[in-house]
């Protein structure tokens, strides 16, 4: 299993709009493509307080998407041969203050199921 992680930041005033765009447009559009080997995504959100994280701008809201794929070939089916490129549709870009241009990909070594008792 491959985990694809990406981050973007909004101003506090644009955070709800970005969350809505991703929740109601971006992720559903990806799911509708019925990509072989795609297993869905998490959307995470956190406000940044003063002094949090190197390079972070105080008062921004950080979002992260965590997507699950069977393989890097499945990721390539999603975004193309340059599989690290960020997938950020225009409507999402319009409300982001900044974002990672590249996504990080990790091989899954343990899952929650593997780490629970019994």
Q: Which two tokens stand for residue 9?
A: 């930041």
Measured from the Cβ of residue 81, the count of other Cβ atoms closer than 10 Å reads 6
Cα 40 to Cα 23: distance, rounded to the nearest angstrom: 12
The DSSP annotation for the chain comes to: -EEEEEEEEE-HHHHHHHHHHIIIIIHHHHHHT--TTEEEEEEEEEEPPTT-STTPPTT-EEEEEEEEES-HHHHHHHH-SSTTB----HHHHTT-SEE-SB-EEEE----HHHHS--
How high is the pLDDT of residue 54? 54
Could you tell me the pTM of the whole model? 0.90
How high is the pLDDT of residue 49? 77
Q: Can you name the residues that pair with 98 across neighbouring β-strands?
A: 9
Give tens-digit pLDDT for 37-78: 999 999 999 999 765 555 556 689 999 999 999 999 999 999
How high is the pLDDT of residue 56? 56
């Amino acid at each position: 299993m491959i985990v694809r992680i990406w981050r973007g930041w909004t101003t506090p005033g644009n955070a709800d709009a970005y969350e809505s765009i991703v929740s109601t447009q971006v992720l559903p559009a990806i799911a509708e493509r019925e990509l072989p080997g795609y297993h869905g995504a998490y959307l995470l959100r956190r406000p940044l307080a003063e002094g949090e994280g190197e390079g972070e701008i105080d008062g921004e809201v950080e979002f992260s998407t965590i997507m699950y794929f069977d393989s890097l070939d499945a990721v390539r089916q999603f975004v193309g041969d340059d599989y690290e490129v960020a997938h950020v549709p225009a409507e999402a870009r319009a409300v982001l203050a900044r974002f990672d241009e590249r996504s990080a990909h990790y091989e899954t070594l343990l899952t929650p199921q593997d780490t629970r008792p019994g």
